Amino acid sequence: MDNNYFVDSDKLSEAALEKKHRIENDPSSRTNHMEYMEGMERISSDIMEKVLTEMDNYDYSAYTVKDVRAALSHDHCTVEDFKALLSPAAEPFLEKMAERARLETQKHFGNTVYLFTPLYIANYCENYCVYCGFNCYNDIRRMKLNMEQIEHEMKVIADSGMEEILILTGESRAQSGVEYIGEACKLARKYFRMVGIEIYPVNVEEYKYLHECGVDYVTVFQETYDSNRYEQLHLMGHKRVFPYRFEAQERALMGGMRGIAGSALLGLSDFRKDALASALHMYYLQRKYPHAEISLSCPRLRPIVNNEKINPLDVHERQLCQVLCAYRIFLPFCGITVSSRESESFRNGIVKIAATKVSAGVSTGIGDHESKYTGKESDSAEGDEQFEINDGRSFKKMYDDMSGEGLQPVLNDYLYV
């Protein structure tokens, strides 16, 4: 890809600037977001059709207090019950939902909370997603770590006591190829017991290769399940292809991955419909692949560098809590991750109710763990962050805080034989 796409608009070549303006202002110049691009694998699956049909037909205003009471009275939560619990009619029942969610969490997870940290190894991106700090037209410091730098970052993180890492890149095959990511994952196996990736979607054989490199699980965010809104927000790049992204988790499982995770980015569209689709996506995958470990996340929009292109559809903490409680009641065995996008107080509270996993010692920048973990200045340059975090607690502080809340922090519970 032309490196000119990675600099500020006033430095773009005339042709690149013209293309940027054209795709922003002329929808007819954009590719069809429902058509696969060359090289994208198609799989035979009916999950997307099921999820989107349920979401499109979901009229949450039709649910009543009676429906919510009935849902909370059932021993097992059906899809219809879940829809009632996501509806506005359930808002006055939040305390009852939280108590039910807490009981389900304790029944299946005890008082444990899992800790992990993300490691961004590159922030180059070929997509134009108007809400993302890494988008290819955003004026930020771009960086890609080499293997020596990656291993150094990993050693700094491992020395803090962390045993699970999530490796992330911007979505650029040109700058962060599958082989590059695979080599990073092999290094991660030297330092961590659990390795996850959050990268651009790839094909089944590529997921198989990454699994052989040591990857345990794959996280992919659909961002929004509203196809029309998705088309408006993803103007250029491979990420624009809605169905290929939707099927990423299933391809990962077909490639041998032990676990998958996903969600919408709440605030991009109607959060109730996106929450319904997120949970149903994982629900149908679990039914089709019962051996898989399934997890849900619940990120909300956070401020990014140079963000003037999107006004978030606000999802407040009380609404987020409702979504998480509904997730837990509907999917009692499902892992639920609450990221550092949320405040310290919210995360301290929600892990006692519904969440089972939190990140600690978080940086969404590139090459800055030594400066953030030890206070020493890094010898190399640093790349800009993808978004602003809200909870910046170190691993030790998070561990101590979780213990102080009466919880048992877990660093790893998987044995390799």
pLDDT of residue 417: 56
Asked whether residue 383 falls in the same domain as residue 330, the answer is yes
- Is the separation of the CB atoms in 398 and 360 below 8 Å? yes
Q: What is the spatial distance between Cα 380 and Cα 308, in angstroms, rounded to a whole number?
A: 30
Which long-range contacts does 144-148 make (Cβ < 8 Å, 24+ apart)? 144/175, 144/176, 144/366, 145/121, 145/366, 145/367, 147/183, 147/184, 147/187
* 7 band by pLDDT with thresholds 50, 70 and 90: very low
43 pLDDT more than 70: yes
Let me know if residue 400 belongs to a domain.
Answer: yes
Give yes or no: residues 330 and 352 share one domain.
yes
Task: With respect to residue 35, please indicate whether it lies within any of the assigned structural domains.
Answer: no
Instruction: Grade residue 9 by pLDDT with cuts at 50, 70 and 90.
Output: very low
pLDDT average, residue stretch 400-408: 94
Residue 310 has pLDDT above 70, yes or no: no
Q: Are residues 2 and 92 in the same domain?
A: no
Same domain, residue pair 156 and 25: no
Q: Which residues of 279-288 are buried (b: 16+ CB within 10 A; e: fewer)?
A: bbbbbbbbee
Of 51, 31, 34, 30, give the one whose Cα is nearest residue 42.
34
- Residues 14, 111 within the same domain: no
The residue-averaged pLDDT of 260-275 equals 96
- How large a percentage of the chain has pLDDT more than 70? 89
CA-CA distance, 141 to 16, in Å (whole number)? 19
Q: What is the pLDDT of residue 25?
A: 84
296 part of a folded domain:
yes
How many residues appear in the chain?
Answer: 417
- Is the dihedral angle over the CA atoms 224, 229, 230, 233 positive or is it negative? negative
State residue 80's pLDDT score.
Answer: 98
Residue 46 pLDDT exceeds 70: yes
Q: What is the mean pLDDT of residues 228-256?
A: 97
Looking at the fold, whether 126 and 198 belong to one and the same domain comes out as yes
pLDDT at 245: 98
Give the separation between CA 386 and CA 362, rounded to whole angstroms.
Answer: 12
* Backbone phi, psi, residue 294, to 5°: -110, 135
What is the mean predicted confidence (pLDDT) over 20-39? 89
**415 inside domain:** no
Q: What is the CATH number of the domain that holds 397?
A: 3.20.20.70
Do 14 and 97 sit in the same domain of this protein? no
Query: 183 falls in which pLDDT band (50, 70, 90)?
Result: very high
pLDDT confidence of residue 368: 73
Do residues 23 and 114 share a domain? no
Examine the pLDDT at 75 and tell me if it is beyond 90. Answer: yes
Q: For 122-174, what is each residue's pLDDT tens digit?
A: 999 999 998 888 888 887 889 999 999 999 999 999 999 999 999 999 999 99
Residue 285 shares a structural domain with residue 333: yes
In a domain, 256, yes or no: yes
- Widest distance between CA atoms in the chain: 63
Residue whose entry in the numeric block shows the structure tokens 């590719």 = 31
CA dihedral for 139, 225, 344, 334, sign (positive or negative): negative
Q: What is the DSSP string of 257-312?
A: -SEEEEEE-BTSS-HHHHHHHHHHHHHHHHHH-TTSEEEEE--B----TT--S---
In terms of residue numbers, what domain contains 369?
A: 41-410
Q: Both 23 and 52 in a single domain? A: no
| Average pLDDT for 302-317 | 68
Number of domains in the chain: 2
Q: What is the mean pLDDT of residues 29-48?
A: 95
Specify burial of residue 310 (Cβ count, 10 A radius: 0-12, 13-18, 19+): middle
* Within a domain: 386: yes
Q: With respect to residue 417, please indicate whether it lies within any of the assigned structural domains.
A: no
Looking at the fold, whether 14 and 152 belong to one and the same domain comes out as no
Q: Quote the mean pLDDT of the chain.
A: 90
* 132's tokens: 């993302």
Q: Is the pLDDT of residue 90 over 50?
A: yes
In a domain, residue 46? The reply is yes
pLDDT tens string 191-201: 999 999 999 99
What is the CB neighbour count within 10 angstroms for residue 344? Answer: 15
Give me the percent of the chain exceeding a pLDDT of 90: 75
Which pair of structure tokens corresponds to residue 102? 């807490």
Cα–Cα distance measured from residue 21 to residue 13, given in angstroms and rounded to the nearest whole number: 12
Q: What would the two tokens of residue 363 be?
A: 């940086």
Tally helices (H) and strands (E) across the chain.
16, 11
Say what the pLDDT of residue 274 is.
Answer: 98
8 pLDDT tier (thresholds 50, 70, 90): very low
Half-sphere exposure of 416 (CA within 13 A, CB side): 10
The pLDDT score that the predictor gives to residue 66 is: 98
Give all strands (DSSP E) within 45-163, no chain letters: 112-122, 128-129
Indicate if the pLDDT at residue 3 is higher than 60.
no
Residues 8 and 125 in one domain: no
Q: Does 19 score more than 90 pLDDT?
A: no
The rounded distance, in Å, linking the Cα atoms of 263 and 304 is 19
| Inter-CA distances, 204 with 48, 208, 210, 253, Å | 17, 6, 10, 8
- Asked if pLDDT for residue 273 goes beyond 80, the answer is yes
